[in-house]
Amino acid sequence: MEVLLVEDDDTIAVPLVKGLEREGFTVARVAGGSDALAAPAADLVLLDLVLPDLDGYEVCRRLRARSDVPIIVISARSEEVDRVVGLEIGADDYLVKPFGFRELVARIHAVTRRRQPSRTGDPDPVRIGPLELDRRTRRVRMDGEEVALTAKEFDLLALLAEDPGAVCTRQAILEAVWDAHWYGPTKTLDVHVASLRRKLGDPTMIETVRGVGFRLCDPP
């Protein structure tokens, strides 16, 4: 797997590159946002937010606008609002510095394994009202128009689409879409649901069941 590390601090970047390479990753490291945007396509991006040229949020936004590459933010910014903004503009995960190396590797595997095609056969596209979801190609269409989703947004929608009308609890969603050992803020789920509603163009399709979770509805 090719990883693009966007980090200007050598004391963090150098040992991180060595550690990831020991784990079998191929790592390209850049120190600025402009270089990150100009770098060859990678399988995953590790992105610091404090960069010497472009703001990391802007880099994330531009990467997401042109690609669905998994993005994990690694930042010293630990406030909930920072995490929420990062996830809302397209990051798939957010890890606060200082972090454990093993946790980072686990997060990388958790993000990427959900991008792997099914080994048990490819199911037919799911159609619910104007929504069409194809797990094989990981594409979503509304009224025939393709909707660009992040990896986590697709996985969340696909989970809800497995049983339309049934309620999926918040905990079940976090464990299935993120990880059984998810340590991030639960606000993450609300941010992704809000983003999905906005992108689908019909907020009624994903219904909140207060105190329980969410369900996907077939619009009348």
Model pLDDT, residue 74: 94
d(Cα 42, Cα 4) in Å, to the nearest integer? 6
Q: Which of 70, 88, 113 is the last residue of a domain?
A: 113
Do 54 and 93 belong together in one domain?
Answer: yes
Q: Which of 113, 138, 159 is the last residue of a domain?
A: 113
Do 149 and 107 belong together in one domain?
Answer: no
Provide the number of structural domains found in the chain. Answer: 2
Do 187 and 102 belong together in one domain?
Answer: no
Q: What is the CA angle 128-161-107, rounded to 5?
A: 145
- Digit-by-digit pLDDT tens for the chain (220 residues) are 899 999 999 999 999 999 999 999 999 999 999 999 999 999 999 999 999 999 999 999 999 888 889 999 999 988 888 888 888 888 888 888 988 898 888 888 877 765 555 444 456 788 998 999 998 888 999 999 999 988 889 989 998 998 888 898 888 888 778 765 555 556 788 889 999 999 999 889 999 998 889 999 876 6
Is this structure's pTM higher than 0.85? no
The DSSP letter of residue 41 is P
Q: What is the CATH number of the domain that holds 60?
A: 3.40.50.2300
Do 166 and 95 belong together in one domain?
Answer: no
119: in domain:
no
- For residue 13 the two structure tokens come to 């970047």
Q: Which of 113, 145, 170 is the last residue of a domain?
A: 113
Bridge partner residues of 27 (DSSP): 3
pLDDT digits (tens, 9 = 90+) for 118-171: 444 456 788 998 999 998 888 999 999 999 988 889 989 998 998 888 898 888
Model pLDDT, residue 182: 53
Domain span at 161: 126-216
Do 96 and 143 belong together in one domain?
Answer: no
Q: What is the CATH number of the domain that holds 173?
A: 1.10.10.10
Do 134 and 104 belong together in one domain?
Answer: no
